[in-house]
Structure 1
């Protein structure tokens, strides 16, 4: 009997040892994580992040998957339907609710709690942007604001002082008139509508209007301040004639014109810093200031989040990389590459990393910012806005007519959300 008991005891110990060995092997097993993103300008920085991450996590292989932004969410939508989403991918505000409400991305509250992760260093507004139904789905990666980029050489040649925080909208208009030179095919400013975040959203807000109400139930396109804010931006083309036409900017985008010295000023986001820094002409000839004041000084703030696909087979490994991407170490790497990190206390490094541009302007604009306007079906009503403002910009309808159509159709969409 004693021998039998001893045999059973030894057998159990061997089984426990075997199970323990299996768990250790599983914990150290190699895994491959696919990471989806859309900005090629950040590719080298992302490679640096992967390299740094792998110093402590050599068993987690990261594969970077670049998709240009104009194809990015179309590709993701198809991948979600087919169960082939990247393990981790960039998410923005306009598309977040759709992915969260359809269970395509993973809530991370439990992971945050289990790791006792401190979220205090991240801006509250950016954390809130990626919360749905009282659940958190992303840690902030970065944020961006809008500044007035200008060509110092063109300003010098025209004998004009550079833009600063004393500028009103009228100062921008008057400087644009001086800088416009039809014989040289040079324009004072580009009133592009290609990117709402870096264009008319800012004149709407600065003029005291709004795109969508805070409760996400009403359109702001019947508000006189909204309409006037759009009109002032529109007038740069059709009244003051200091901007390329909509058709010209459809053929050659405004950023390309700015990079070749054909446009003296443009509204543009901080996420363009790497591109302007790597372009020889803009690196030597341009700088940035705060946006001019209208009824107030305002702009759009937005930030990206890293999300985990709900059908990922490597969620634990994906979480380790997501944590790292929002860490102080990763924030400093982003800062040196010209991306405003979301992690509080690392922005000074971002400013110091590019001394030839006045990047403090973007931090100053963060203090005068309003959240990117979103709702559950952002893509539906944003397409309506773009389509109708494009008609106004090309002269097919007035700003008032466009705003009336936008308001009516947007209200219908919001009522059904």
Structure 2
């Protein structure tokens, strides 16, 4: 989000909050008064679990009605920007690590540390790395909801028909390429692997596996133009060049996940958020990702945050506490929707879909790398999309693309 936008948001919210009395910001909190709060999120696959959680919440809080607002991820943060300037943000909403610093410093979301302290709401119920991810200038702004790593999904039927053993922990980059070549069948319209252009669960993992980095430790530069990153990106794109993966245009027209689910792709990297969909197909399973020079996968997690200009702060905080409870985590766990962040509920998530090797995602935590999170992460991600698609579509060489990307990303980092 650009600097001018946050200056504007700060002014708008500053005037808005200054004009509200305590009763305004916490209205709807008397025992008998009914209020309605909105809950914004982006994943339609999680709707059944969310609706069940809201039902459980209403059993304990009948005077608080929760209205859901589902927005596709591609439009989610753009919609939040528009809503923030118009004072129409959802009371409670999903937040990711890439945007939390921007929204916190822009005073768009409320710090929750003091609220948690006042209500003895323990932040130790979640992985420390997730609490750290949503801590800005010493204050916690989000209550962890879930976390995710990466797995190698594969189609057992395609493997069986080709007489190829399933993936396991011994696989490396060479093995992935070798098997992708064996499983590619142009006559049947089957590709061995989908080389998607996503960063999490995609080229970030490959760069880390090859000993590279995304953002330097001092936060002043990116590593896309370094030899390790260039080699990793070339390896990823080589599947497309060799005809082992759908092209970028084909994966834009039809999502790689759809091609995989329909049996047109034999293998692809994907996250646990796809379990609700993939579990419906008995031909699919998941293994740990292949290793490069070392093992590495991205780890990230979502949190629930509260809009700074909410008119129902207490009601919103009650709902956020319930969303962060063991009870809510168990709902997500039993539906296999996502890996719940609440400590001790991950095993229930694994057992929720015993037909899948979901342990692969938990194993990934051991060698996981936190998804980069700086104030300009969102801006850098957009540059990645705009620039790297030229390399994925073979309009430019990897070297040309990363030169442009590095220049733009480093300029974004320098603004901090």
TM-score (norm 2): 0.91
Match of 1:262 in 2: 264
Deviation track 1:196-239 (CA, whole Å, cap 9, x = no partner) reads 2121111111111111123321111132111111111111111x
Residue 139 of structure 2 is aligned to residue 135 of structure 1: yes
Match of 2:295 in 1: 297
Counterpart-to-counterpart distance in 2, 1:353 and 1:133: 38
Counterpart-to-counterpart distance in 2, 1:136 and 1:383: 26
Match of 1:391 in 2: 390
Residue 83 of structure 2 is aligned to residue 79 of structure 1: yes
Of 153-162 and 216-225, the range deviating more from structure 2: 216-225
- The structure 1 segments of at least 4 consecutive aligned residues displaced by more than 6 Å after TM superposition are none
Match of 1:110 in 2: 114
Counterpart-to-counterpart distance in 1, 2:51 and 2:116: 25
DSSP-derived class of the 1:303 partner: coil
Q: Aligned-pair distance for 1:156?
A: 0.4
Question: Which of residues 97, 101, 126 in structure 2 aligns to 1:97?
Answer: 101
Deviation track 1:147-192 (CA, whole Å, cap 9, x = no partner) reads 0000000000010110011111111100000000011110000001
Counterpart-to-counterpart distance in 2, 1:352 and 1:25: 39
Structure 2 vs 1, CA of residues 24 and 384 (structure 1 numbering), >3 Å: closer, same or farther?
closer
Match of 1:412 in 2: 411
Question: Which of residues 217, 222, 226 in structure 2 aligns to 1:219?
Answer: 222
Counterpart-to-counterpart distance in 2, 1:157 and 1:42: 34
Match of 2:344 in 1: 345
Match of 1:206 in 2: 209
Of 144-153 and 197-206, the range deviating more from structure 2: 197-206
Q: Aligned-pair distance for 1:396?
A: 1.1
Q: Aligned-pair distance for 1:384?
A: 1.5
Counterpart-to-counterpart distance in 1, 2:380 and 2:397: 19
Deviation track 1:344-377 (CA, whole Å, cap 9, x = no partner) reads 1100100000011100000001111111112212
Question: Which of residues 245, 248, 258 in structure 2 aligns to 1:246?
Answer: 248
Residue 161 of structure 2 is aligned to residue 162 of structure 1: no
Counterpart-to-counterpart distance in 2, 1:316 and 1:39: 26
Q: Which aligned pairs between 1:8-407 and structure 2 lie closer than 5 A?
A: 26-193=30-197, 195-238=198-241, 240-278=242-280, 283-338=281-336, 339-407=338-406
Q: Aligned-pair distance for 1:24?
A: 12
DSSP-derived class of the 2:146 partner: coil
> Structure 2: 5+ residue runs without aligned partners?
1-26
Match of 1:8 in 2: none
Counterpart-to-counterpart distance in 2, 1:256 and 1:315: 40
DSSP-derived class of the 2:268 partner: strand
Q: Aligned-pair distance for 1:25?
A: 8.8
Structure 2 vs 1, CA of residues 216 and 24 (structure 1 numbering), >3 Å: closer, same or farther?
closer
Deviation track 1:13-54 (CA, whole Å, cap 9, x = no partner) reads xxxxxxxxxx99923321111100111100010000001111
Deviation track 1:270-303 (CA, whole Å, cap 9, x = no partner) reads 111112124xxxx211000000010111111111
Residues matched between the structures, number: 389
Root-mean-square deviation (Å): 1.4
